[in-house]
Amino acid sequence: MSSGVCQTRWVRLTHPPADLAPERRRSYQIFIHVYLFAIATHVSFIPIFAALDVAVLMLLNLACIAANIVAIALHRHGRRTQALLIKLGAVIILVIAAGMMLGDETGCEYFFFVLLFEVLISDLTRRLKLLLSALVISLILATEHLLFGTLGNWPYSDLSRELLFSLNVVATFVLFTFIVLQVYAITETTERRFRTDATHDSLTGVLNRRAVFDKVERYWQAEQPFALLLLDADHFKCINDNHGHSVGDEVLRHLAQLLGNTLREDDFIGRVGGEEFLVVLPDTTLEDALSVAARLRNELARSPCRLESLDLGVTLSMGLALSSEADELRDVVDLADRRLYLAKSSGRNQLFAQGGESREAEMGEGVTARLLPEMPSADNA
């Protein structure tokens, strides 16, 4: 129970706010993790300074912990510049004080390089980055050449000083590694999400119009045969009018999920209109395509969209075209579209796999519907 609560709070803390611009989300996540890891680092140094009996540095570490907590709060409310400046200021004071009280050769100055790295990867303005970078570099030089040991020198053995130096080197290396890994992991996640958002329909999760036609184009350019099955949910406007658009959205999600689960491994589906979907069937003959269409239709009959107070059965009108039926990809798509129109104008809930060779084609002589097997009723499913 407690682990689940902690995980929920962790996700809530590290997840970007919903109103945050997409280009700011990566920086938000990176620095939230940096602040949290910095808190853990300062906590680990408190017992070390307690063992060295340096109360001032213990208090400064506690102040850095408080500064990082404040930075997290500011960061979450969109005040990212103030958050970073507070965090940097607290650590700068700690590092300078450590150098002044403990003298040189303790490795405290290495933490300046971590701060410089944080400045460079932040989303501050370029001018502010240059200003802060110059400030940090100046502090490195001033601390090393002017301030080291001004309030005292290392009072213990050389061995203990070497141990502290090694500890500071390891700590800065761990901080560098953690930040770099966070940048890499979050960048990969962000780019993957951007790629998904760019190629998938936000409502149904299937490919969007551009992405599905790009894939079809690649099949066409490779001269790989395929079948196009253009689907349209019958009387979908009535669902929106009678039950509301939220119910219509649920129906579309249900339809997309059912189609995706029913298709073969190499088939793919995209949403190309409000309630229109395009199914692409690679290396598929006419008979195999008819079999796939019949399976889709039967699965939809067995699995209506079940909401809290109603079951909504949806039927499909379909137009089927093979890549071998035209010399241009656009003509193949148009053929599937005209056959879909024939299916809709002929009573819906059926498939046309023939006819429609001309734009003026209408139901009549020379136009034959390839009807699917009789759809089972929901009661008999």
Q: Are 194 and 23 in contact (CB under 8 A)?
A: no
Distances (CA, A) of 303 to 220, 292, 299, 312: 34, 16, 6, 9
Tens digit of pLDDT for each residue in 123-173?
A: 889 999 999 999 999 988 888 888 888 888 888 888 888 898 999 999 999
Choose, from 144, 275, 276, 299, the residue flagged as catalytic. 275
What's the predicted TM-score (pTM) here?
Answer: 0.62
Of 375, 29, 366, 347, the residue nearest 179 (C-alpha): 29
Beta-bridge mates of residue 13: none
Residue whose structure tokens are 């790989």? 224
> What is the pLDDT of the chain when averaged over all its residues?
85
Active site residue 118: no
Phi-psi region of 105 (alpha: psi -120 to 50; beta: other; left: phi over 0): left
- Burial annotation 54-65 (CB, 10 A radius, 16+ → b, else e): beebbebbeebb
As to burial, measured by CB atoms within 10 angstroms (0-12 exposed, 13-18 middle, 19+ buried), residue 347 is exposed
Cα torsion through 88, 89, 94, 95, rounded to 10: 60
- Cα–Cα distance between 319 and 123 in angstroms, integer? 50
- The domain limits of the chain are 2-195, 209-352
Tens digit of pLDDT for each residue in 210-255?
A: 999 999 999 999 999 999 999 998 888 888 888 888 888 888 888 8
CATH 3.30.70.270 is held by the domain 209-352: yes
From first CA to last CA, the distance across the chain in angstroms is: 41
